[in-house]
Amino acid sequence: MATVAVQRAEREDYLNTEYGIKSWLLTTDHKRIALLYLIAITFFFFIGGFFALLIRLELLTPAGDLVQADTYNKLFTMHGQVMIFFFLIPAVPAVLGNFLIPIMIGAKDLAFPRINLLSWYLLMVGGALMMYTILTGGVDTGWTFYTPLSTAFLNTHVVAAALAIFIAGFSSILTGLNFIVTIHRMRAPGMTWSRLPLFVWANYATSIIQILGTPVLAISLMLVALDRVFRFGFFDPQRGGDPLLFQHLFWFYSHPAVYIMILPGMGVVSEVVTCFSRKRIFGYKFMALALIAIAVLGFLVWAHHMFVAGISLYAGLAFSLLSYFVAVPSAIKVFNWTATMYKGSISYDTPMLYAFGFIGLFTMGGLTGLFVAALGIDVHVTDTYFVIAHFHYIMVGGMVIAYLAGLHFWWPKISGRMYPEGWGKLAALIIFVGFNLTFFPQFVLGYLGMPRRYWQYKPEFQVLNVLSTAGSTILAVGYLMPMIYFLWSMRYGKRAPDNPWAAAGLEWTTPSPPQTFNFDETPVVTWEAYNYHQIKEVPVER
Amino acid sequence: MTGHIVPKRTYVAVWITLMILTAVTAAVSRIDLGHGSAAVALIIATTKALLVILFFMGVKYVSQRMTIVMIVAAFFWLGILLALSMLDYVSRAWR
Amino acid sequence: MAVTHDEVNPALRHHFADLEQQREASEFGMWVFLATEIMFFGGMFCAYMVYRYMYYPAWVAGSEAMDFWWGTINTAVLICSSLTMALAVHSAQVGRRKLLVMFLIVTMLLGCVFLGIKAIEYQGHWEEHQFPGWSFHFEGPDPQHVELFFCLYWGMTGFHALHMVIGVVLVSIIAFLGWRGRYGPEYYNPVENTGLYWHFVDIVWIYLYPLLYLISHQHPH
């Protein structure tokens, strides 16, 4: 033990290079900023999860007996707003992306380190405003802020919530800007586009969406604020304003936003699947192009959220057709992950368990997206629990599980410690069971006709609701476990070697944890991505 | 502006052109061209914008191709927003 | 790789290999930011387009209430300010410090003239009850649709004016730092980026001018 202590004191890394709160709050080191983000979004995950638990508690019984109807509206609104804007959107890019992208491309930091820190502060300011909104009465518009309810009929803190999200959106824009410039301009010699890890490609595609989509959300929220504060009439039917115009502007961002949420997760899955199959990715070019295709096509489908809202039939036809196109690149990715595993040497470490979960659950979520993209079916299931189940399969079954896969995979690199593998596997199993028990019944509920955003329901739906709530408590236990054992590992976990998984990628050539400036000398890359056939190391025994 | 230094007289020439185009668009707006008025006004505005982009903002001399891609992409994406939204509004009246 | 001269230039940040990479990143980053601004203003242009399509006569009536001369003068003022801004960047590129500061100050002043004229216009509109909301009043057919025009007018020119204010502040900061000798032929990224921002705001106005001020005059009453 003494030897290890001496070795540790000798080697300086980004964690021990400086102590003190100022060295963290004024850091420009992308790795420290990633940890600041980790703390922030974990906090917001708990807030959003707390609201989810309250929702599920209310829905244990058909009657509206836990909270008032107005309160229930606030619960699902704030669950959605906090989870989407303060957890899902930043999670993989701002935590894992910030930490890994410079190292993966062989750079010393992002292109604009101070803007990176500013991004974090913006998220914190937006988050503080959101907490203030929650603590002083909340907002009940639904996370979608539909007009004219939000502009003309509600007395809750709509403008404050809109402003909080506006600020968080600015954080997201700056992160995307940073990533785009970094990936274009800061790659090490030899690190060509076709040698980039798919995780980098995924964040690049995500950043394109962040840049081009988020500003439209920003302006749509500003217009709502103008309508509320100054009684402007942008969306006031009495003055000729069209409430649907808000929906067009809102969904122009919010549909691509779901790709902001899922693409980084897909990047994680590509890294994990290749490593734990000991094989290079099947169809690298198609995988990279599919990411870009999803990003681009994702901008052409937004009005599929408005099929029954009053758009023209012809617009509906066009958007329905386009929505089918966007499924194709996602399907290609699922096929290629599967093909990667074929004849691979599979090991079932925790990250890989999560990756398996992702592939199955994302596929289910994605296929049910095709259901709702069909105009006829959508008329039946829109605004029911079917839609809720659909997007939770992708957001939770896909995105959150991919985030956990990434956290486990790169935890040794980030913290210098190994998490306890047995507990990791157990948590993954509990999360998988809890997730399916929570959300599968909701597909059935929705098809049977239970509307979303209702705080009471017909008695015949109770059994399925009870199952769903039971599942959510199991899921909550599953989420708490990594929280606990990651923290535990920072003190008591086994010290991690540089490359415990014998993985490919420049980040695994650095010490665990890395030094502040990542590399002593800028690497010169002469090998292709996922060169598992050339890697001589073996994974560490667990 | 890649360290490429644009001569001052180019800037002045562009400025003069912009002032003239402003006068033209103001004058033409007084004439009744029916539906052509909007088109003419937008064409002149776009010409002015292009002059500012190419010369004042230096895009004509810029060294990075990605910069051009970024600018074109932004306008194209704005086009997507405008076109697909208008698709809804224009087709609402159709049978 | 890098020339020794770069290694001692205090402007070089540690994570860049040389000043050229830093300059390219800075320029590209600024354009990415401007792309976001295009989409931000674009949302309002979308609203404008939709409602103009739906309520054209009200748009004509609203545009008629604009002050043609103030709008035209303001367009000219901004174009002149773009010239002085470009000349400021040029001065930095050739190392003429005093000229740089002078052109930046003139740019600022022209920006303030623009804002002053806008204030005069806003005052006029306010007094004519052309601010949307409780006190809006318009004599003529479809006043509620004309009110919608004014929502777009105040919203679009308001956000534009906000960007102008930010621009004036930025230019003043750059002018101060330029006077302190911070910029020269090897390093003038902030001046260049401020210029890009300024020209962008000018371009937004180049479109706002015909869309808001020039609709009505084809239909002499």
* The pLDDT of residue B11 is above 50: yes
Q: Which of A212, A226, A230 minimises the CB distance to C39? A: A212
Q: What is the pLDDT of residue A89?
A: 97
Q: What is the pLDDT of residue C221?
A: 35
Q: Which residues of B touch A313 (CB under 8 A)?
A: 91
Q: Are residues B11 and B44 in the same domain?
A: yes
Q: What is the pLDDT of residue C219?
A: 47
Q: Are residues B35 and B55 in the same domain?
A: yes
Q: Which residues of B touch A309 (CB under 8 A)?
A: none
Q: For A310-364, how does the pLDDT look when each residue is reduced to its tens digit (9 = 90+)? A: 999 999 999 999 999 999 999 999 999 999 999 999 999 999 999 999 999 999 9
Asked whether the beta carbons of residue C214 and residue B25 sit closer than 8 angstroms, the reply is yes
Size of interface A-B (CB pairs under 8 A): 37
The nearest CA of chain A is from the CA of C219 a distance in Å of 23
Residue B20 CB coordination number (10 Å): 10
> In chain C, what are the domain boundaries?
18-218
Residues whose CB falls within 8 Å of the CB of residue C148, separated by 6 or more in sequence, listed in order = A233, A234, A239, A240, A241, C51, C55, C58, C132
Rounded to an integer, what distance in angstroms lies between the CA atom of residue C129 and that of residue A449?
50
* The pLDDT of residue C5 is above 80: no
> A317 — contact with chain B (CB < 8 Å)?
no
Burial class of A68 by CB neighbour count within 10 A (0 to 12, 13 to 18, 19+): exposed
The stretch C82-92 carries a mean pLDDT of 97
- Estimate the crossing angle of helix A198-229 against helix A98-105, to 10 degrees: 140
pLDDT bin (cut points 50, 70, 90) of residue A537 is confident
Q: For A182-221, how does the pLDDT look when each residue is reduced to its tens digit (9 = 90+)? A: 999 999 999 999 999 999 999 999 999 999 999 999 999 9
Q: What is the pLDDT of residue B34?
A: 78
Q: Are residues B45 and B91 in the same domain?
A: no
> Which of C2, C194, C14, C22 has its CA nearest to residue B3?
C22
Contact A108, A517 (CB under 8 A): yes
pLDDT bin (cut points 50, 70, 90) of residue C22 is very high
Q: Are residues B12 and B43 in the same domain?
A: yes
Asked whether the beta carbons of residue C15 and residue A213 sit closer than 8 angstroms, the reply is no
Q: What is the pLDDT of residue C8?
A: 64
∠ CA A288-A294-A298, rounded to 5°: 160
Nearest CA in chain B to A253: B81
Asked whether the beta carbons of residue A248 and residue B77 sit closer than 8 angstroms, the reply is no
Handedness of CA A395, A401, A402, A404 (dihedral sign): positive
Rounded to an integer, what distance in angstroms lies between the CA atom of residue C13 and that of residue A441?
55
Q: What is the pLDDT of residue B3?
A: 66
Would you tell me which residues 319-348 of chain A have a C-beta closer than 8 angstroms to some C-beta of chain C?
A: none
Residue A280 CB coordination number (10 Å): 18
The stretch A506-524 carries a mean pLDDT of 94
Rounded to an integer, what distance in angstroms lies between the CA atom of residue A70 and that of residue A455?
9
pLDDT bin (cut points 50, 70, 90) of residue B63 is confident
The stretch C167-196 carries a mean pLDDT of 95
> A184 — contact with chain B (CB < 8 Å)?
yes
Would you tell me which residues 168-187 of chain A have a C-beta closer than 8 angstroms to some C-beta of chain C?
A: 173, 177-178, 180-181, 184-186
For an interface test with B, which of C51, C84, C217, C221 has the most B Cβ atoms less than 10 Å from its Cβ?
A: C217
Rounded to an integer, what distance in angstroms lies between the CA atom of residue C209 and that of residue A520?
55
Q: What is the pLDDT of residue A378?
A: 96
Rounded to an integer, what distance in angstroms lies between the CA atom of residue B6 and that of residue B48?
18
Residue A420 CB coordination number (10 Å): 18
Rounded to an integer, what distance in angstroms lies between the CA atom of residue A79 and that of residue A66?
17
- Estimate the crossing angle of helix A198-229 against helix A284-297, to 10 degrees: 10
Residue A92 CB coordination number (10 Å): 32
Report the Cα A491 to chain-centroid distance in Å. Answer: 28
As a residue count, chain A comes to 542
**Across all residues in chain A, what is the average pLDDT?**
95
Q: Which residues of B touch A318 (CB under 8 A)?
A: 84, 87
The stretch B57-83 carries a mean pLDDT of 93
Would you tell me which residues 24-53 of chain C have a C-beta closer than 8 angstroms to some C-beta of chain A?
A: 24-25, 28-29, 32-33, 35-37, 39-44, 46-47, 50-51
Q: Are residues B59 and B70 in the same domain?
A: no
**Per the structure, how many domains does chain B have?**
2
Beta bridge partners of C187: C184
* The pLDDT of residue A6 is above 90: no
pLDDT bin (cut points 50, 70, 90) of residue C12 is confident
Q: Which residues of A touch B66 (CB under 8 A)?
A: 184
> A466 — contact with chain C (CB < 8 Å)?
no
For an interface test with C, which of A226, A228, A246, A311 has the most C Cβ atoms less than 10 Å from its Cβ?
A: A226
Residue C137 corresponds to which tokens in the numbers above?
């009043």
Would you tell me which residues 1-20 of chain B have a C-beta closer than 8 angstroms to some C-beta of chain A?
A: none
For an interface test with B, which of C214, C219, C221 has the most B Cβ atoms less than 10 Å from its Cβ?
A: C214
Q: For A391-425, how does the pLDDT look when each residue is reduced to its tens digit (9 = 90+)? A: 999 999 999 999 999 999 999 999 999 999 999 99
Nearest CA in chain C to B17: C79
Rounded to an integer, what distance in angstroms lies between the CA atom of residue C199 and that of residue C192?
11
Q: Mind listing the domains of chain A with CATH numbers?
A: 27-509 (1.20.210.10)
Residue C122 corresponds to which tokens in the numbers above?
């806003």
> C1 — contact with chain A (CB < 8 Å)?
no
Q: What share of chain C is helix, strand, coil (3-state, %, to 5)?
A: 80, 0, 20
pLDDT bin (cut points 50, 70, 90) of residue C4 is very low
pLDDT bin (cut points 50, 70, 90) of residue A2 is very low
Q: For C182-206, how does the pLDDT look when each residue is reduced to its tens digit (9 = 90+)? A: 999 989 999 999 999 999 999 999 9
Q: Are residues B43 and B74 in the same domain?
A: no
Q: What is the pLDDT of residue A10?
A: 59
Give the chains touching B; criterion: ≥3 Cβ pairs < 8 Å: A, C
Q: C4 vs A33, which has greater pLDDT?
A: A33
> Which of A324, A303, A224, A288 has its CA nearest to residue A256?
A303
Q: Which residues of C touch B83 (CB under 8 A)?
A: none
Asked whether the beta carbons of residue C31 and residue B67 sit closer than 8 angstroms, the reply is yes
Asked whether the beta carbons of residue A215 and residue C39 sit closer than 8 angstroms, the reply is yes
Q: Which domain holds residue B79?
A: 64-95
The pair phi, psi for residue B63, each rounded to 5°, is -90, -25
> A458 — contact with chain C (CB < 8 Å)?
no
Q: Which residues of A touch B67 (CB under 8 A)?
A: none
Asked whether the beta carbons of residue B11 and residue C192 sit closer than 8 angstroms, the reply is no
Asked whether the beta carbons of residue B56 and residue C42 sit closer than 8 angstroms, the reply is no
Rounded to an integer, what distance in angstroms lies between the CA atom of residue C7 and that of residue A108?
16
Nearest CA in chain B to C196: B57
Q: Fold for domain C18-218?
A: Four Helix Bundle (Hemerythrin (Met), subunit A) (1.20.120)
Task: Supply the pTM of this predicted model.
Answer: 0.95
Q: Are residues B50 and B79 in the same domain?
A: no
State the DSSP string of A100-157. Answer: HHHHHHT-SS-S-HHHHHHHHHHHHHHHHHHHHHHHTT---STTTT-TTIIIII--SS
DSSP state for residue A66 in the 8-state scheme: S
Q: What is the pLDDT of residue B23?
A: 96
Q: Which of C14, C51, C134 minimises the CB distance to A231? A: C134
> Which of A400, A493, A406, A414 has its CA nearest to residue A33?
A414
Asked whether the beta carbons of residue B85 and residue A248 sit closer than 8 angstroms, the reply is yes
* The pLDDT of residue A290 is above 60: yes
Q: Which residues of B touch A214 (CB under 8 A)?
A: none
> Which of A395, A397, A390 has its CA nearest to residue A359?
A397
Asked whether the beta carbons of residue B87 and residue A318 sit closer than 8 angstroms, the reply is yes
Q: Are residues B12 and B46 in the same domain?
A: yes
B3: left (phi over 0), alpha (psi -120 to 50) or beta: left
Rounded to an integer, what distance in angstroms lies between the CA atom of residue A321 and that of residue A330?
16
